[in-house]
Amino acid sequence: MRPRVPDRAWVTVVAAALLIGAFLGLRVVAVGGPGSFVAAGEQYVDPSRAPEELVVLPGTGYDGQFVYRMVLEPLPHRQTGHGITFDVPAYRAQRIATPGLAWAVVRLTPFEAATSLLLVNVLALLVAAWAAGRLVRRFGGHALFGVVPVLSFAMVIPLARDLTEPVAWAATLVGVELWLAGRRPWAAGLFTLAVLARETSILVPAGLGVWAVVEAIRARRVWLPALWLLLPLAVEVAWQWHLGAVWGELPVRTGKENVGTPFLGVARSLVDLDGARSHPVWEAERLAVLGLLVWSGVRLWRSALPAGLRVAWGLAALLALSLGGWTYDAQFLRAVNEAVGLSLLALVVDRALLSRLVVSGAGLLSLYVGWQYTTVV
């Protein structure tokens, strides 16, 4: 019989709601309404043809403009539509979950696309806070600390710029909670949603699946529930194939953040071989991520996390350390989101003094990055 987990996750949700509300209030005052969160740029958005709610600035803009385009048209077949042009159509079209949910909100409520997209991400983070609170309680910590892996410095930018990470992380955390509670089909469904929001979310069910296979081999039996973890993989493969047929190339081959030799790209960024130290905050973020990964790796063998999540952490950390480089924060922090989130989830329930200091430092950095992004468009 599984131990009962006291449901005090409301504490996490309330804390997350207060922090999110403060952040959004400051950002709306500084940059304007939801149409500014999209970060649309004239290179890819034609102001004369785009929806009036969008605030279009000079320059290239950022990825939220492509997510916004998919809210208007979740299954695009043209590179340009609604005045917005995809830079890499197959790559942009693969992350359908977040814009798909916002598209549904547009049709069920009086909200326009930009407001719906922001609403979906806020609700996703509140759901993530509930799941994180449950998980932290399950692993022996106080539910309030679940706020740290949900509103980390890696999640501030996606909230500020209408990106896809909040839905992916929320679905991942809920999927983990359901998996540990023995609700395999529901967990598989949430993992599938996570993968359709952000393809790198596959690392978590992959880690759980690898350990399930190890356990099955040790026990010399077939562990049928683990087969549910093949669902997100099968759906992602089918989705990649479909988009390849539509756009003429597989999305997995078009990503801008190339993965190379482990540690090489990170080392180049840290020793400034690419001239990346143009902003002291970015350097602090790089060092924080590296320190977080190193210390969580040291403490992992004594972690309260189940073995499957430890394997998932290993896969996420390997991906983070194999990136082409840690340069512009909006780029590399999103790319290491799973590694940062799992590291913080492990450390918030670790009673070692240094772990508590690392978590406190991560929390302070998250508040600082949040303050910075109240004004960054």
Question: How far apart, in Å, are the Cα atoms of 9 and each of 102, 137, 146?
Answer: 25, 8, 8
Q: How many CB atoms lie within 10 A of CB 364?
A: 12
Question: Going residue by residue through the chain (377 aa), what tens digit of pLDDT does each one get?
Answer: 344 444 678 999 999 999 999 999 999 999 989 999 999 999 999 999 999 999 999 999 999 999 999 999 999 999 999 999 999 999 999 999 999 999 999 999 999 999 999 999 999 999 999 999 999 999 999 999 999 999 999 999 999 999 999 999 999 999 999 999 999 999 999 999 999 999 999 999 999 999 988 888 887 676 777 889 999 999 999 999 999 999 999 998 886 556 666 666 676 666 664 454 557 778 888 889 999 999 999 999 888 999 999 999 999 999 998 887 777 788 888 989 999 999 999 999 999 999 999 999 999 999 999 999 999 87
What count of Cα atoms within 13 Å lies in the side-chain half-sphere of residue 339?
Answer: 24
pTM of the entire structure? Answer: 0.93
CB 265 within 8 A of CB 323: yes
What count of Cα atoms within 13 Å lies in the side-chain half-sphere of residue 332?
Answer: 26
- Structure-block tokens of residue 147: 């706020």
84 strand-pairing partners: 45, 81
332 residue type, one letter:
F
356 residue type, one letter:
R
Characterise 145 by phi-psi region: left (phi > 0), alpha (psi -120 to 50), beta (else): alpha
